[in-house]
Structure 1
Amino acid sequence: MRNVLKSALLSASLLVAFDACAQIPTLAKCTRSANLLACVDGDGNAYSVNTAGSTMYLRGFDAAGKRYWAQTNSRYGQLTFFTGIASDGEAWVGYNRRIGWTTINRFSSSGGSSARFTCNRIAGC
């Protein structure tokens, strides 16, 4: 469960820096087109981000948990709301609030997890 959420939230954090590509993991191999970013890391995790207006669609595979996941993000100004589901049935909701280079992230999942963490482009998460 944690790996799926970690992958999804990493991808959500990537969205904050999507235009600048500032937080793409250095070990990931990525391909990018006008609206699609697809990456695979050294551990076999994979994810893609597709944009359509102010909505972003994420899909991924968590190699450790052998689970697929999908997440939809909708942006309204500096707020981004997201909902996701994994192949094992876990679901999650949350939001990112961008303030300058800092992003405040909150989420909760059907598995009972919840967290609040802060990321920025210089120090990371």
Structure 2
Amino acid sequence: MRNALKLALMSFSMLGAANAWAQVPALANCTRSANLLACVDGEGNAYSVNTVGSTIYLRGFEAIGKRYWAQTNSRYGQLTFFTGIASDGEAWVGYNRRVGWTTINRFSSSGGSSAKFTCSRIAGC
């Protein structure tokens, strides 16, 4: 779960940082329309990011765990709250807070995982 969620959070952060992100050959094959970004990586993981106003919907498939997951993000200024659920019943909550060029991310899940990590446009995560 931690890798799938971290991938989703990093993808969300990259989406905000690079609006014109249409394809990243080394990481994933992506297709983009006005409101939708859909990607598949070389390991068989797939995810999509759909934007509707200030709400972002993420959906995906984690190849290693063979499970589907969905996450909804609600943005309020520099703060984004998210909740998600996976096909095996695991649920998670968390937030992202943007401070300058840095994003502070925190989450916890019903599976016992929790983490806090920081991402920077310059240094990455």
Same fold (TM over 0.5): yes
Q: Given the alignment of the two structures, is residue 73 of structure 1 paired with residue 49 of structure 2, yes or no?
A: no
Residue-by-residue CA offset, 1:70-124 (whole Å, 9 max, x unaligned): 0000000000000000000000000000011100000000011111100011211
TM-score, with length taken from structure 1 = 0.89
Unaligned runs of 5+ in 1: none
TM-score, with length taken from structure 2 = 0.89
Bigger mean CA offset, 44-53 vs 2-11: 2-11
| Displacement after TM superposition at 1:13 (Å) | 2.8
For the aligned residues, what is the CA RMSD?
1.7
| Number of the residue aligned with 1:96 | 96
Between the aligned residues of both structures, percent identity stands at 84
| Number of the residue aligned with 1:49 | 49
Within 5 Å, give how 1:1-125 maps onto structure 2: 1-17=1-17, 19=19, 21=21, 26-125=26-125
| Displacement after TM superposition at 1:10 (Å) | 2.9
- Alpha-carbon distance in 2 for matches of 1:44, 1:102: 30
| Displacement after TM superposition at 1:17 (Å) | 2.4
- Residue 75 of structure 2: SS of its match in structure 1? strand
- Alpha-carbon distance in 1 for matches of 2:25, 2:92: 23
* Contact 1:54–1:74 under 8 Å retained in 2: yes
More RCO (CA 8 Å, sep 6+): 1
Unaligned runs of 5+ in 2: none
